[in-house]
Amino acid sequence: MTKMESKTTYLVAEKDLLDVKIVTQMLHTDNHGDVRVEHVSNFGEVIDQLGRKTYDALILGLDLESHEELAQLHDLTLRFPTLPIVILTDKEDQDIAFKCLHIGVQDYVSKNQMNSELITRIMRYAIERKQIDLQLKNALEEADKKNKQLTLLARTDTLTKLPNRAYFFEVTQHAIASAKRLKKSVGILYFDLNGFKFINDNFGHSVGDQVLVELSRRLKEHLRTGDTVARVGGDEFVVLTTMLEEPVQAYSVAKKVNQILCEPLLIDDNEFSMSASIGIATYPEVGSVDKLVQCADMAMYEAKASKQHFACFYTKQLEEKYNTQRQMESALESAIQAGELHATYQPIITAADDTFHVEALCRWSSGNLGLIAPNKFIPIAEASKLGDHLGSFMLREGAKFKARCEARGMTLDKLALNIFGRQFTDKRFAQRLLTELEELELPAEFLCVEITERQMIENLTACQTQLKLLKNHGVTVALDDFGTGFSSVTHLKSLPIDFLKLDRSLTAFIDTTEDNHALCDGIIHMAHRLKMEVVGEGIERQEEFDTLLSMGCDKFQGHLFGFPMSETDLLDHWQSPHIDQIKQLTPSPQTNLRSV
Ligand code: C2E
Ligand code: MG
Ligand code: MG
């Protein structure tokens, strides 16, 4: 289509040639010859002509009597959306006029009332109005596009392009409403990626991001079209599965998610295999979106704690268990502040010399609940963020105890402090511990950090690097409860361990239990070859001590030598038995001190 002329060019479509002539004359009269008027005589020609050439406006003669005419007119406005159209008609029917305007024509003029001034004005206005309409339409379209982009942005996770938390909540809300109507179930699967932190820490965030993107892609590709997968946090995802006949069907989706995650991933020449612990909560068992997500999250922690199941369903009992745990957690937090915790010390006897070495063990005597056993509150501290508070508290107490020993003319050589493996996942933990030692004016050699074998393995890489730093500064390291975890020799080689603590499950009745005898004997030899010292834990009987001593065990800890004691009991009543005394030890008064 071309428009060659600078004159305003009109196309008049009118079958009555006289009318065409009148219109043409009128337009010329009032425009001082600055217009050009062309003419066609039926609708079909209008379309052809408009397809060939561009006009400033169309003057369309219509009888406006049939619906068909209006439909054609509508079609014309759609085909030529930028063309101003003015209807020329015999009728003066307001109703039809409005219909025309509604369809999209700019104006209409009655043949009976037409004069040159009027038609010129109508045409000029029609052209201007069309331009304003078009500008407005463009502006609206632009705003609409921007709005859509903004909505999409507000609903999408920028990295993975999956729906984000807000949108997920919206979709789930609708899913619950439909499930209610159709008497179906809805399932929410909540999970984060096991080992993701390790990838981020060791391979960098860019690799971590690629893992997230690729897994998101796979999840989107392989889950049912009706299911929605969303990213709701760093490595946290949630899947909404709808139209379930039975809530248990959500388990099959969890199985599929697990399969998808387990497929090896190749990123930058590194192969990763991920896994997830999945928490499942279902509607109608749980009634609202907020609660569904919260319950699925709770079930995820249960799945994480379970070594056998990759997925767990939310149940009422689970909620009760978690509520109790939360109550304990806040009670423990207040207990630390209220001074209800105190340190006890259990002596560790050295076979070769009289070194004075103790392990600090925490006790909680609650104002309301009485004495709370360590196996009740220690796991709570481990699972919560209270581990650091507890560790710092015990170290400060240990420093005071050392000073009190010195005031009595005794030297406390070493304090063993139990540390949770999880604490090492904070990269600054070891450095913070060294700073605390400095602030307390304690030599690094004074401290021995004890980590259980299980916790060390669960946080292996984090432990490896941070323990090396501690060791470089002179802190010693003990692998606690050895024999209760994997007892892996490979790990022993790769970790900077000074002391291997044989758990009571290995040392109890070692004199009469052949397996334990053989195991301890072997472990002691191996540990010595690896330049580690061995501590026999939980020694209650003389025979256990004798047997371990004959095997070359270096240190001993247990009720036979002393219970965990308060600072005062230890200083006032306990005296370190010399190894020769222990060799013929019959329970002496000091070894029978009350356990605290
Ligand atoms: P653990 O580090 O292996 O400490 C030795 C545990 O064995 C202590 O239990 C101690 O009371 C007990 N024990 C000592 N001698 C004997 C014995 O001859 N026979 C028997 N049957 N048991 C003996 P406790 O004090 O109940 O502590 C349990 C665990 O809680 C500790 O095991 C340690 O892992 C953890 N724990 C205790 N205090 C703290 C703390 O302040 N911080 C951290 N992170 N963990 C702590
Ligand atoms: Mg210990
Ligand atoms: Mg132990």
**Atom nearest to 361 CA in ligand 1:** 38
Per-residue model confidence as pLDDT tens digits over 464-509:
989 999 999 999 999 999 988 777 777 788 889 999 999 999 999 9
Place of tokens 């009976």: 112
**Atom nearest to 394 CA in ligand 1:** 41
Q: Residues of the chain with pLDDT > 90: what percent?
A: 63
Provide the whole-model pTM. Answer: 0.64
User: What is the predicted pLDDT for the residue at 586?
Assistant: 44
**CA 145 to chain CA centroid, nearest Å:** 31
**Atom nearest to 557 CA in ligand 1:** 15
Positive or negative, the CA dihedral 9, 14, 17, 18 is negative
Q: What ligand is nearest to the CA atom of residue 424?
A: 1
Distance (angstroms) between ligand 2 centre and the Cα of 325 equals 23
- Distance separating the N- and C-terminal Cα atoms of the chain: 99
Closest by CA position to 213, among listed 231, 188, 239: 231
Distance (angstroms) between ligand 1 centre and the Cα of 481 equals 10
Closest by CA position to 430, among listed 414, 411, 413, 417: 417
Both tokens of 304, joined, read 């994480």
The H or E element that residue 48 is part of is helix 43-52
Rounded Cα gap, residues 555 and 19, in angstroms:
120
Q: Can the peptide bond before residue 284 be classed as cis, meaning omega within 30 degrees of 0?
A: yes
CA atoms within 13 A on the CB side of 143: 6
The closest residue, in CA terms, to atom 4 on ligand 1 is 361
Cβ contacts of residue 129 below 8 Å, gap of 6+?
84, 106, 107
Q: Is the pLDDT of residue 450 over 50?
A: yes
User: What is the predicted pLDDT for the residue at 460?
Assistant: 85
Per-residue model confidence as pLDDT tens digits over 239-291:
999 999 998 999 999 999 999 999 999 998 889 988 899 999 999 999 999 99
Q: Is the pLDDT of residue 421 over 70?
A: yes
Positive or negative, the CA dihedral 59, 61, 66, 69 is negative
- Compute the mean pLDDT over every residue in the chain, rounded to the nearest whole number: 89
**Atom nearest to 416 CA in ligand 1:** 2
Closest by CA position to 301, among listed 319, 286, 284: 319
User: What is the predicted pLDDT for the residue at 392?
Assistant: 94
Neighbour-count burial for 547-560, b at 16+ CB within 10 Å, e otherwise: bbbebebbbbbbbb
Cβ-based neighbour number of residue 114 at 10 Å: 16
For the chain, the maximum distance between any two Cα atoms, rounded to a whole number of angstroms, is: 138
What average pLDDT score do residues 194-214 get? 90
The closest residue, in CA terms, to atom 25 on ligand 1 is 361
The H or E element that residue 241 is part of is strand 236-244
Per-residue model confidence as pLDDT tens digits over 356-402:
899 999 999 988 888 999 998 998 899 888 899 999 999 999 999 99
The closest residue, in CA terms, to atom 34 on ligand 1 is 418
Both tokens of 207, joined, read 């690799």
Rounded Cα gap, residues 562 and 574, in angstroms:
8
Distance (angstroms) between ligand 3 centre and the Cα of 596 equals 17
**Atom nearest to 452 CA in ligand 1:** 34
Q: Is the pLDDT of residue 178 over 90?
A: yes
User: What is the predicted pLDDT for the residue at 66?
Assistant: 67
> For residue 593, what pLDDT band results from cuts at 50, 70 and 90?
very low
Three-state secondary structure call for residue 410: coil
Q: Is the pLDDT of residue 592 over 90?
A: no
Distance (angstroms) between ligand 3 centre and the Cα of 360 equals 12
> For residue 90, what pLDDT band results from cuts at 50, 70 and 90?
confident
DSSP structure class, residue 340 = -
Rounded Cα gap, residues 123 and 120, in angstroms:
5
Per-residue model confidence as pLDDT tens digits over 292-341:
999 999 999 999 888 778 999 999 999 998 898 888 889 998 998 899 99
Rounded Cα gap, residues 387 and 482, in angstroms:
21
Backbone angles phi, psi at 83, to 5 degrees: -85, 125
Neighbour-count burial for 185-212, b at 16+ CB within 10 Å, e otherwise: bbbbbbbbbeebbbbbeebeeebbebbb
Rounded Cα gap, residues 89 and 119, in angstroms:
13
> What residues flank ligand 1, with Cβ below 6 Å?
346, 361-362, 374, 378, 390, 394, 418-420, 450, 452, 480-481, 504, 538-540, 557-559, 564
Q: What ligand is nearest to the CA atom of residue 501?
A: 3
Backbone angles phi, psi at 16, to 5 degrees: -85, 110
Place of tokens 């004069």: 115
User: What is the predicted pLDDT for the residue at 583?
Assistant: 60
What average pLDDT score do residues 51-74 get? 85
